[in-house]
Chain A
């Protein structure tokens, strides 16, 4: 059974700092790995999706990497801003499963202080 873990559970940084959020998964037979952002009481916004054959994806100040062999993904945020404050969730879709089977980690709550 796939399990997704995110470390740390919470992170507070000063504005402008570069930071890394970690995600690990137990079953390397994944279809893809996604990173989402969730603001308090709101829905999820998809940030990056990495296919199983890819090593990384970039969007603006965000860069996500995937290492299937070690069961790890990282989300790198450059030059953090207060607007980046939110909970970041990673989710794995297992190979052979339906798209509905997003297995989420518990998230990392990020706070960027001005």
Chain B
């Protein structure tokens, strides 16, 4: 199984709503990532978890709150978002952080988020 799954595929939310994005992998990877991708732009790293601990937070606003309940799951909790937060949110996983220069990240299909 070389798949990273993300739910939901699409999400529409108001600025006062609370919602969560979910990501799951069963490849035994110990590093998991959240990226944000705006239209016609490359992905931008948001958070990195290594062995279920937050390793990197790229100065993301607190209205985005990541959570890694176990080694297979990664959540992104959303609260009081702004319309400019509308984007494709991608999850990825890899064996580890810089464990080998042969490593690659496996990406999920993404959740397309629209904030009204």
Residues of chain A touching chain B, judged by Cβ–Cβ distance below 8 Å, are: 31-32, 34, 36, 41-46, 49, 51-53, 89, 91, 93, 97-102, 104-107
Contact = CB atoms under 8 A, between A and B. Distances in A.
Interface stretch (B63-71, B75-83, B106-114): B106-114
Contact of B109 (A34, A43, A105, A107): A43
Interface string B88-116: 10101010111101111111111010000
Contacts of A42: 109-110
Given A34-B104, A100-B55, A105 B88 contact: no
Given A43-B90, A43-B109, A107 B42 contact: yes
Interface in B37-92: 40-43, 45, 48, 55-56, 88, 90, 92
B56 A100 contact: yes
Contacts of B102: 32, 49, 51
Contacts of B55: 98, 100
A31 B109 contact: no
Interface residues of B, number: 31
B43 A44 contact: yes
Contacts, number: 74
Given A32-B101, A89-B43, A91-B42, 14 more contacts: A31-B98, A34-B104, A41-B88, A46-B107, A49-B103, A52-B101, A98-B48, A98-B55, A98-B97, A99-B94, A100-B48, A101-B56, A102-B105, A107-B42
Given A44-B90, A106-B41, A100 B97 contact: yes
B21 interface: no
B101 A98 contact: no
Given A32-B101, A51-B101, A99-B94, A44 B45 contact: no
